[in-house]
Amino acid sequence: MFVAISRFLVKNGMESEVREAFRARPHQVDGADGFIRMEVLTPRERSAEFWLLTFWEDESSFRSWHGGHTFKESHSGIPKGLKLDPGETELRFFDHVSS
């Protein structure tokens, strides 16, 4: 299993809007080939920081979705005016070892 983890920090106090956007997300990724599940986390001590974990059957499934039009459409619910700290944004890739 392949895991893509992105981390970002909300810079302008819109954490509650981002939480609601994730709760109301359109679930477009759910139908992508190879998609398994998605988790969204925030550390208790830093509520403006978000971790988005997506689990895939393989890396090629993730890359196919990430490079496609559905990826762009799935971000249409991003709150207007949201600002992220570019120095606190990253995307990393992992191999799942065990559950």
Write the pLDDT tens digit of every residue in 4-35. 999 999 999 999 999 999 998 888 899 899 99
Question: pLDDT tens digit string along 26-71?
Answer: 888 998 999 999 999 999 999 999 999 999 999 999 999 988 777 7
**Structural domain total, the chain:** 1
Tokens representing residue 39 in the block: 């988790």
Please give the helix or strand (H or E) that residue 18 lies within, else none.
helix 15-23
Which of 11, 13, 4, 64 lies closest to 34 in space, CA to CA? 64
d(CA 74, CA 31): 12
d(CA 16, CA 95): 31
d(CA 56, CA 22): 19
CATH of the domain at 6: 3.30.70.100
Domain span at residue 82 reads 2-95
Predicted TM-score (pTM) of this structure: 0.88
Residue bearing the bigger pLDDT, 86 or 70: 86
